[in-house]
Chain A
């Protein structure tokens, strides 16, 4: 299914809280096993998972590191 949406995560600012992982209805986000410079394990986006641009991830993101795009 062609994705209608896309997100961009600034992984340097992510603190790995995993709210976005929890609330993404398409399960398009998971936690990386590589830590960022701050020592957190950031969230990473799976472009193939069928993101719809619903922005639930961004609404819940405490660090405001997610931008959401939609057709």
Chain B
């Protein structure tokens, strides 16, 4: 028998600190797998967020920097402008990208910065114990909206992928629900495409991942997968929101 699946080389031996059944782990592993392809690793510079994924630099054997909360895409802009040939990607949760970082996210995308963002949406603030996020859906209960989010009291959630997909500087946005092996492969393909588009200089790319947070959702890991499928995808439908390269091809 030959080995057909093993730990990627670029994933350091450290044990993940994430909760059982967390989507971050899977994402980190798939990122490691994709980075082993082509010359991605030697060009890659990652910006880690503040959030559960703040320790990304302990797991991936590439150049990684921390950023202040929400500022990943501004830091990414600085890096990409300094080394235009680098493969720059941010990895951010919903608080980091859509709340405190909303301005930086919008403008980096608006400027068409040639960087990639992996946007991990689990509809709450995981690291700090499950508070409301801009992605928390109406009627969803969190520690800062214990009666369930209401439009009247807390306002509406933000669909950042939809907003960003409308900007001309954004070349590719896809949303994936990380709920099955098939969808994990979908994420892998999307990431590869985003890195390729960045290498071709097409603009800003973003992959939103609907990801489990069993601890704060107070569900088992397997039930968390189901909750994404049955509840989250209604507010955040998976699919390609924009792919300007493909569309450009069609219109010519």
A-to-B contact residues, CB < 8 Å: 5-6, 13, 15-19, 21-23, 40, 53, 55-56, 58-64, 66-71
Question: When chains A and B are docked, how far (Å) is the Cα of A65 from the Cα of B180?
Answer: 17
Q: How far is the CB of A9 from chain B (nearest CB, A)?
A: 12
Which residues of chain A are within 8 angstroms of B25 by Cβ–Cβ distance? 62-64
> In the complex, are the beta carbons of A67 and B6 less than 8 A apart?
yes
Q: Is B82 an interface residue (CB 8 A)?
A: no
Interface size counted on chain B using CB atoms at 8 A: 30
Interface-located stretch among B16-24, B158-166, B241-249:
B16-24
Pick from A18, A53, A58, A59: contact of B221, CB under 8 Å: A18
Quick one: closest A residue to B220, CB to CB?
Answer: A18
- Smallest distance from the beta carbon of A47 to chain B beta carbons, Å? 12
A32 to B181, CA, bound (A): 23
State which of A15, A56, A59, A69 has its C-beta within 8 Å of the C-beta of B3: A69
Main SS class of interface, B: mixed
Scan residues 1-49 of chain B and give those whose CB is less than 8 A from a CB of chain A: 1-8, 11, 15-16, 18-26, 29
B11 with A64: CB separation less than 8 A = yes
Q: Which residue of A lies closest to B214 (CB)?
A: A17
Instruction: List the interface of chain B (C-beta within 8 A of A).
Output: 1-8, 11, 15-16, 18-26, 29, 180-181, 184-185, 214, 220-222, 225
Which residue on chain A has the smallest CB distance to residue B188? A59
Cβ contact within 8 Å between A55 and B5 = yes
In the bound complex, do residue B222 and residue A60 qualify as a contact, i.e. CB atoms below 8 Å apart?
Answer: no
Instruction: Please indicate the chain A residues that have their CB under 8 angstroms from the CB of B18 in the complex.
Output: 62
Complex Cα–Cα for A22 and B222 (A): 7
Measured CB to CB, the closest approach of chain A to B83, in angstroms, equals 30
Contact between A18 and B23, CB atoms less than 8 A apart: no
Contact sample, A vs B, 23 pairs, CB 8 Å cutoff: A13-B15, A15-B21, A17-B21, A17-B222, A18-B220, A18-B222, A19-B221, A21-B222, A22-B222, A55-B4, A55-B5, A59-B184, A60-B26, A60-B180, A60-B184, A62-B18, A64-B7, A64-B29, A67-B3, A68-B3, A68-B5, A68-B6, A70-B1
Known A-B contacts A13-B15, A59-B181, A64-B7; the reply to A19 vs B22 at CB < 8 A is: no
**Closest partner residue, chain A, to B8 (CB atom):** A64
